[in-house]
Amino acid sequence: EKGGFDHFMLKEIYEQPRSIKDCMRGRIYPKEGKVQLGGIKDYTEKLKNIDRIVIIACGTSWHAGLVGEYLIEEYARVPVEVEYASEFRYRNPIISEKDLVIAISQSGETADTMAAIELAKEKGATIFGICNVVGSSIPRITHAGVYTHAGPEIGVASTKAFTAQVTVLTLMALYIAQQRGSIHQGEMVKMLTELDEIPSLVEQCLKSNDTVLAISEKLKDSRNCLFLGRGSGFPVALEGALKLKEISYIHAEGYPAAEMKHGPIALIDEDMPVIFIATKNSSYEKVISNIQEVKARKGKVIAIVTEGDKEVKKMADYVIEIPDTNEAYLPLLATIPLQLLSYHIAVLRGCNVDQPRNLAKSVTVE
């Protein structure tokens, strides 16, 4: 049932070209420049009139929410806040009928997320769900929603569910942009044409496996790791760090790269590996100067770079190449080598990758 793979986690990492494709199936029409989301189609008028979007989730799903914030603000031009469900519900949040709440949950059973939904509903907000498990509890208590269709995720550490959540958020951002007229048709055609190519680019990212394995050998005895990125590379860094701590029990932190100088830089020495998301995009030059700061303090730099990159290669100890794409889709690609990295490090350390200690697949306690 592991389809020839040693662990469910690895199988699920390798399923991503297909799961992302399944997630987009019947929803994107690149030539027409059109996105169709049947699950929320009754809310198109509502989407034209919302003032704000609040995304609520936990863990990895919360990281997907942070990527969603970038995408929705960029394309739909609606202000977005992303909240941990557990924090949201224990405050007295300011929510009204003009708010759209998007709850993200792989399992559809997370207690904190459910409680946050009930609270937002009482205050009159419209609630959309983004869930993976069909027929789970959250889709039943939301007003509308879009399934991720990633298929069952058995590994406790979320992999393909995360990329499917990011895919749905991409579709939602473009859909809302379309309804609100904040995107030109030509741009839409281009965006969807590029999105359509993502499954095959993810396939290419998986080819970094041998390189990642070799790097994992070097990092496996580390006690700490720092993950840095900017823009939508920041949530990718957070997710990379979470994956590593969950399954390998190495202490890891994700930070926006520019925040490093406000504290974490004190940690850097020759025993501190720093993993950078350093692809060619709007923050490339800035990330390069952050890499220089780490190198100047003898930190070990592992960088995810765009294929053919020369500048970062000169500075980094190890690089992992991923194909070039529209900046909006960077998280879908850059996440893949980080999943492989945490997987291999955990296996090399003899950890139970599919069932890490103290963790459960769905957290139904508050």
Active site residues: 361
Quick check: 163 and 182 in contact, CB under 8 A?
no
Kindly compute the dihedral angle of the four CA atoms of residues 358, 276, 19, 38, in this order, to the nearest 10 degrees. Answer: 100
In the complex, least distance from residue 101 CB atom to ligand F6R, rounded to whole angstroms: 15
In the complex, least distance from residue 191 CB atom to ligand F6R, rounded to whole angstroms: 26
Give the span between the Cα atoms of 61 and 106, in whole angstroms: 7
* C-beta closer to ligand F6R: residue 30 or 68: 68
Quick check: 156 and 355 in contact, CB under 8 A?
yes
Contact status: 106 vs ligand F6R (CB under 6 A): yes
In the complex, least distance from residue 113 CB atom to ligand F6R, rounded to whole angstroms: 5
Quick check: 88 and 117 in contact, CB under 8 A?
no
Contact status: 110 vs ligand F6R (CB under 6 A): yes
Contact status: 127 vs ligand F6R (CB under 6 A): no
Contact status: 163 vs ligand F6R (CB under 6 A): no
In the complex, least distance from residue 116 CB atom to ligand F6R, rounded to whole angstroms: 11
In the complex, least distance from residue 327 CB atom to ligand F6R, rounded to whole angstroms: 25
Give the span between the Cα atoms of 364 and 366, in whole angstroms: 7
* C-beta closer to ligand F6R: residue 8 or 75: 8
Q: Among the candidate windows 93-101, 104-112, 211-219, 290-298, which touches ligand F6R by CB under 6 A? A: 104-112
* C-beta closer to ligand F6R: residue 205 or 242: 242
Contact status: 363 vs ligand F6R (CB under 6 A): yes
Q: Which residues of 249-275 are buried (b: 16+ CB within 10 A; e: fewer)?
A: ebebbbbbbeebeeeebeebeeebbbb
Contact status: 290 vs ligand F6R (CB under 6 A): no
Residue with tokens 């199936």: 25
Tokens of 85: 């469900």
Contact status: 111 vs ligand F6R (CB under 6 A): no
Contact status: 335 vs ligand F6R (CB under 6 A): no
Give the span between the Cα atoms of 51 and 47, in whole angstroms: 9
* C-beta closer to ligand F6R: residue 22 or 246: 246
What string marks each residue from 51 to 90 as x (binds ligand F6R by CB under 6 A) or -? -------xxxx-----------------------------
Contact status: 107 vs ligand F6R (CB under 6 A): yes
Sequence-ordered alpha helix ranges (H) in 72-151? 85-89, 111-122, 137-141
Q: Among the candidate windows 3-11, 19-27, 99-107, 305-313, which touches ligand F6R by CB under 6 A? A: 99-107
Contact status: 246 vs ligand F6R (CB under 6 A): yes
In the complex, least distance from residue 355 CB atom to ligand F6R, rounded to whole angstroms: 12
| List 86, 126, 158, 306, residue binding ligand F6R (CB under 6 A) | 158
Quick check: 225 and 241 in contact, CB under 8 A?
yes
Give the span between the Cα atoms of 111 and 89, in whole angstroms: 11
Give the span between the Cα atoms of 53 and 326, in whole angstroms: 24
Taking the CB of residue 354, how many other CB atoms lie within 10 A of it? 20
Q: Among the candidate windows 105-113, 119-127, 279-287, 321-329, which touches ligand F6R by CB under 6 A? A: 105-113
Sequence-ordered alpha helix ranges (H) in the chain? 8-14, 16-24, 44-49, 59-71, 85-89, 111-122, 137-141, 160-180, 185-196, 198-206, 209-219, 233-248, 284-296, 311-315, 330-348
Contact status: 167 vs ligand F6R (CB under 6 A): no
* C-beta closer to ligand F6R: residue 155 or 323: 155
Give the span between the Cα atoms of 165 and 110, in whole angstroms: 15
In the complex, least distance from residue 71 CB atom to ligand F6R, rounded to whole angstroms: 18
Applying CB under 6 A, the residues found at the interface with ligand F6R are 58-61, 105-107, 110, 113, 157-158, 242, 246, 362-363
